[in-house]
Structure 1
Amino acid sequence: MKSELCLCDTEGRTEKILTYEGLIEAPNWHPAGYLIVNGRGRIYRVPLSAPDLHEIDTGFAVKCNNDHGISPDGTRLVISDSTRHGKSCIYTLPIDGGTPHQVTRAQPSWWHGWSPDGTTLVYAAARGDRKVKIYRCPAEGGRETLVCDAFDHIDGPDFSADGDWIWFNGERSGQVDLWRIRPDGSDPERMTDGETVDWFPHPSPDGAHVVWLAYAPGTQGHPGGLDVTLNIMDGNGGEGRILTRLHGGQGTINVPCWAPDSSLFAFMRYVP
C-alpha cells in the first residue's frame, strides 16, 4: 500500500505533498508549518517545507492509533495509545516529545477534539455497556462527563471554532448522519440526512466551513480501502457539496485537519 498525504482547499483543488510506502494516517496541522501523522504505532512530524517523516519521542507510548492532535496554543500533543493498558488511553505530552501524562482513567478512550479555550478534551469512549458514547474531561485529566449517549454508536466529536458546539457522527438504526450538540449535552441537532454514511466532521478554525468523510450507503463502521468522498458545508449547516473523490476511509481525516488560516485542510488517500 502507498499512502499519499494531500492538501485540499475549499474549492476541491488538491495537491499531493508526500508519498509513503506503507500506512500513515490522520494528519493534524500545526501553526508552525508542519503536519503530524501516525504510522506503525508511532507519531511523526512532516514539515511542509520539505515533506518527510520525523519521529516524535512519545516515551513508553509506542502503540499510538490515529486519534491524536494538537492543543490550541500549539504547545501540547495529545495521543491515544494502548501500550500500558492494552486498550486505547488518552495522554498529553510536549509538542516536541517527552513523557506522556495520562488523562483518562478508564479505557478504551479515543481522543477527537480540544476546546478552543484549551480547557477541555472531548472523546469517544466505551464503558460498562460497551456502547461508544461521547465524553469530555479537563485537558489535564480528572472526572469525565457524559455528553451524549442517545445513539447506537457515536464517534468523531470535534469542537466548533467558538466552542459552542460539538460536532459528531451518530448512528441510529443503521443510518449514520452528522450531528452537533452543546458541550453540556443539550440542543442536539441533525446536520445531514442523506443516504451516505457520514463520518468525522471537522469545523474550520474560522467557523466558515465543516469538512467530512462520506461512505457509500450501507457501509458498516468506518473501514479503510473504500471509494469515499470528502464533502464540505457551511459552518452553520446547510446543503453540502463534494470536494474530491478518493480511495480511503479509515485514516483519511479521523482528527482535526484544518490549516490555522482555514484555507486548506490535510487528508490521506491510499493506493492499493
Structure 2
Amino acid sequence: MKSIFARHGRQLAKGQVAQLTTIDIETSAQNIIFETDANIEAPNWTPDGASLIFNAGGELWRIDYQGKAVPEKIDTGVLKDLNNDHVLSPDGQTLYVSSNDGHLYALPVTGGAPRRVSNTHDRPFHYYLHGISPDGTTLAYVAVEGEGEHRRINIFTIPSAGGPDRRLSDISKPNDGPEYSPDGRWIYFNSERASDRAGHAQIFRMRPDGSGIEQMTSDERVNWFPHLSPDGRRMVYISYPEGTLGHPPDRDVILRLMHPDGGEYRDLAAFNGGQGTINVNSWAPDSRRFAYVAYPFKN
C-alpha cells in the first residue's frame, strides 16, 4: 500500500518495500502481514499477543498480528522524532522510547503525554534504549558519550521511574543492544570488545551488574541484537556479512537461532535487511513466532 506515514528519517529506494513479517521458528513458515513503500522498523510484539508496534516516520504505530487492519498511529504527544529503539513494560501498559533529542521517555501504550526518564549531563551523552528488566523497574540502554576521537559507546542502566545512571561497561570499543534475559540473570549484548577488526561485533552476555562477561558467538560474520524468547529457551540475532561496520541497512543478512548458553546455531531466514529489521525484541509471547522487517527490491 502507499505510505500513510510521515516522511521523516531514512527513506526507501525506488522500487523497494518494507515487509513486516512473522516466522514460525518450528516450521519456518513466514507470513507477510504488512507491506509498504515507506521505511518501517523495529517491531515489538505486545504481551497479549494481539498486536505489533513498530516505528515509522519518527512515530509509533500499532497493527494487529495478522495484518487484517490498517496500522493505527499511537499518540506520542510532542515527540515526533522517535528512533527505532523502544520497549514495552512486562505488563504491556507502558511504552519506553528513545527520541532523537537524546533522551528516554515513558508513555501509556494507548498513547498520551510522554514523561522523560533520562538525565541531563554536562557532556555529550545520547541515550539509546534497548531492554527492560523482567520486573519492569530497570531499563538497559547504550550511551554515546563524547564526540570525535573521544566518542565512546557503552552500556548503562537506569530506573524506569527515573533515577541515577549506572555504568556497566567502560571500554573504547563499541557495545550495543543490551537486553535482559527473561529470568533477569543476564544482560545480552553485542560488542567489538574481543576483536582487533573494526566493526567485528559478536554476541556476549554479562550479569546485571556488569560482571561475568561471556562470549556467545565467535565467527567471521558480524552479529548484532540478541533477543531472547519469553520462555528463555532460544535466542535470535541478526548476522551481517564479514567486514560490515555498524548495523547499516540494505545488506544480505541472516536471522539466526541459538540456545541462550551458546553453541550451534540454525539459520531462520536470509534477506535484504539490517537497520530496522530487529532492533528491538520481536518475539511473540508464545515463544514460537518472531517478527522482523525485510526490505526487498520488487522492481
Correspondence for 2:94: 76
Letter in 1 for 2:31: E
SS in 2 for 1:260: coil
List aligned pairs for 1:12-27, cutoff 5 A. Answer: 12-27=28-43
Letter of the structure 1 residue corresponding to residue 131 of structure 2: G
Q: Which moved more, 1:206-215 or 1:13-22?
A: 13-22
Residue of 33, 40, 46 corresponding to 1:30? 46
Q: CA deviation at 1:19?
A: 0.6
The residue aligned with 1:10 is 25
Rounded to whole Å, the distance in 2 between the matches of 1:151 and 1:14 is 40
Q: How many residues align?
A: 268
Are the equivalent residues in 1 in contact too, given 2:152–2:171 (CA < 8 A)?
no
- CA RMSD in angstroms comes to 1.2
> Which of 24, 28, 47 pairs up with 2:64?
47
Q: How does 1:85-164 map to 2 (within 5 A)?
A: 87-106=101-120, 107-128=125-146, 129-150=150-171, 152-164=173-185
Q: Is the 8 A contact 1:69 1:79 kept in 2?
A: yes
- Alignment-derived partner of residue 165 in structure 1: 186
Over the matched positions of the two proteins, sequence identity in percent amounts to 44
Unaligned runs of 5+ in 1: none
Look at both structures and tell me which one has the larger radius of gyration over its CA atoms: 2
Q: Secondary structure at the match of 2:163?
A: coil
TM-superposed deviation, 1:52: 2.6
Q: Deviations over 1:183-237 (max 9, x none)?
A: 1011000000000000000011100000000000000110001110000101222
Residues 51 and 156 (structure 1), Cα distance of their counterparts in 2 relative to 1, 3 Å cut? farther
TM-score by length of 1: 0.95
| Deviation at residue 149 of structure 1 after TM alignment | 2.6
| Residue equivalent to 2:81 | 63
Cα contact 1:151–1:170 (8 A) shared by 2: no
Moved more, 113-122 or 101-110: 101-110
| CA deviation after TM superposition for structure 1 residue 21, in Å | 1.7
* Counterpart in the other structure of 2:4: none
Aligned counterpart, 2:219: 194
Residues 18, 51 of structure 1: 8 Å contact kept = no
CA distance in 1, matches of 2:53, 2:65: 10
Q: Distance in 2 between matches of 1:264 and 1:52?
A: 21
CA contact (8 A) 2:141 2:156 kept: yes
Q: Which has the higher strand share?
A: 1
2:8 maps to what in 1? none
The 10-residue stretch of structure 1 (249-258 or 235-244) with the greater mean CA deviation from structure 2: 235-244
Bigger mean CA deviation after superposition, 179-188 or 123-132: 123-132
Q: Distance in 1 between matches of 2:172 and 2:110?
A: 37
CA distance in 2, matches of 1:8, 1:261: 12
Contact 2:82 2:99 in 1 (8 A): yes
